[in-house]
Amino acid sequence: MDPRDAKDTFYEQFARVAQAVASPKRIELLDLLAQGERSVQTLARRSAQSVANASAHLQVLREARLVAARRSGRRIYYRIADPAVSRLVADLRGLAERRLPELREAAHAYFGDPPALEPLDREALLARAREGSILLLDVRPGDEFDAGHLPSARSIPLGELEQRLAEIPPDREVVAYCRGPYCVLAKQAVDLLRTHGYPARRLSDGVPEWRAEGLPVEAAGVHEQA
């Protein structure tokens, strides 16, 4: 192979990865898989697309070696193939935040001002959750909580929150989190809690952000939940 052919081959392989993530739905699927292994059916529901479309997107990601799959009975389960894949998605997000004012404007329009958790850092937030001065609330589906959650967090999925408000101490500040900075579940939870008089704020972090910082994450047995 001559030098020009070699360079063309190298950049062609780099482009395979770029092409695989050049789809909003495929990036969303990678974000969902960062929460843990999931079936095609679950991924389709949570990304608001048909099973056929989700399967086609997952196949593109698999061909680029970004996800891996296994079969169990009639279902196929996907997982992130390498932690570097989640870092790639985080880097893409960070680059978009720095370079695209449209993203910053859209995020501000939906989420409003960032939650005022400063001067607390992540470890201080954990300490407050452990001592019980705040309630760290995980509003993702239960199977995502089981696959990995922040220490001392309590699981109340968003769809169950209004029926389970009695489980939340009225005199304790609630810090709700979900899948990461652009997950909308935590904002919906905070809006609901504030409507009912609970002091609540949104934590923009999710489990992948904590793992990336080397902070502890707890896990339980995994089961699928719609």
178 included as an active-site residue:
yes
The one-character DSSP state at 196 is T
**Spatial distance between the Cα atoms of 33 and 17, rounded to a whole number of angstroms:** 17
**Spatial distance between the Cα atoms of 220 and 205, rounded to a whole number of angstroms:** 20
**Spatial distance between the Cα atoms of 49 and 12, rounded to a whole number of angstroms:** 30
Amino acid type, 184: V
Name the H helices within 21-82.
Answer: 24-33, 40-46, 51-63
81 Cβ contact list (under 8 Å, min separation 6): 65, 66, 67, 68
Catalytic residue among 32, 178, 185, 190: 178
> Is 4:189 a contact under the CB 8 Å cutoff?
no
Among candidates 209, 46, 68, which has minimal Cα distance to 140?
46
- Which helix or strand (DSSP H or E) is residue 3 part of? helix 3-20
Query: Which positions are catalytic?
Result: 178
